[in-house]
Structure 1
Amino acid sequence: MKDTGVFAAVPEGPRERLMALGREVSFPAGTRIFEEGGRADRFWVIRAGGVNLDIHVPGRRAAVIETLGAGRMLGWSWLCPPHQWHLGAEANGTVQAWEFDAAEVLELCERDHELDHALLTYVVEVLGRRLRASRTRLLDLYGPYGSGSPG
């Protein structure tokens, strides 16, 4: 297991306790993993493949905000009420991942403050990155002169 993404953010002991709750899953290319507004009761750490995060745009095709690869956490909405997905997610090829049940992880975090702190810190970083990516992508699509960020 590489120390990238969420695995780099969580120290070894808490990481082992977290991984004890994970189960291996896979998604074929084109699978909708979750839909914006759906119930967020789990998350994934991508082992291989890629996932496009998208946002619903009325009257248009969903806009891809970011593409996630190995080591990255897919889904953070399980952590914040009202526990509904803020984006949609689709496998852009075959995806292998570890899946985690949110209730089990939250229960572990109540007992393991080191894991709790590491996950919260990582999720806040993810939120910041996704907000910036969403802003840039939406400005590219709908702003009169794009985002102004280099290609």
Structure 2
Amino acid sequence: MTKAIKLLTALPQTQRERLMELAQEVSFAEDSRIFEAGGTADRFWVIRSGAVSLDQRVTPQQRVTVGSLGAGDLLGWSWLFPPYQWDFGAEAFSAVRAYEFDAAAVLALCVEDPLLGLSLVRIVAEILAHRLELTRGKLMEHYSLHRPV
């Protein structure tokens, strides 16, 4: 299994510095909802400390955790792709400190600096591929544990 890719450390220093000029420090209390599936994806975060659970609603009363994120991880990628709506929900599993980025400002920076834009899209794609690989492994593990003999 490949190691998780961290957005800020994967960017070259000059590109990271340009992106960080747009960062705002935010925090979320334990158990607070950060966003809901279907909501407008107009920002993203890089977690500085704490843990976030990604979830999917399976019934009106029940959510299933589909992933968890920690320090250095990218929270939110739906801001890059139409229809710009969250695919999952996110909740602070513990107190969270993060850098928040406004999607419109980042996209404008990517137009101004196409190399930064290309780097950012490639890194987000690598992050998504890694998460897909982890999910596939979990599904295979679940299948092998629950398959009829």
Provide TM-score, normalisation by structure 2.
0.86
Aligned mates of 1:38, 1:10 — CA distance in 2: 28
Q: CA RMSD in A?
A: 2.2
Larger mean Cα displacement after TM superposition, 73-82 or 8-17: 8-17
Displacement after TM superposition at 1:136 (Å): 4.9
Contact 1:65 1:137 in 2 (8 A): no
Q: Which residue of 2 aligns with 1:39?
A: 40
Q: Which amino acid aligns with 2:42?
A: D
Displacement after TM superposition at 1:126 (Å): 2.0
1:122–1:44 distance in 2 versus 1, CA, 3 Å = same
Matched, 1:8 2:9: yes
Displacement after TM superposition at 1:7 (Å): 1.4
1:59–1:137 distance in 2 versus 1, CA, 3 Å = farther
SS of structure 2 residue aligned to 1:127 = helix
Aligned mates of 1:140, 1:44 — CA distance in 2: 30
Displacement after TM superposition at 1:122 (Å): 1.3
* Identical positions, percent: 49
- After superposition, give the CA deviation of every residue in 1:6-43 in whole Å (9 maximum; x if it has no partner): 11211111111100001000000001000011100000
Displacement after TM superposition at 1:61 (Å): 2.3
Displacement after TM superposition at 1:100 (Å): 0.4
Q: Which amino acid aligns with 1:9?
A: A
Q: Which residue of 1 aligns with 2:112?
A: 111
Larger mean Cα displacement after TM superposition, 73-82 or 110-119: 110-119
Displacement after TM superposition at 1:140 (Å): 6.4
Q: Which residue of 2 aligns with 1:26?
A: 27
Q: Which residue of 2 aligns with 1:78?
A: 79
Contact 1:45 1:73 in 2 (8 A): yes
Q: Which amino acid aligns with 1:30?
A: D
Provide TM-score, normalisation by structure 1.
0.85
Matched, 1:129 2:125: no
- After superposition, give the CA deviation of every residue in 1:122-145 in whole Å (9 maximum; x if it has no partner): 11122223334445556667x584
* Count of aligned pairs: 143
Contact 1:65 1:133 in 2 (8 A): no
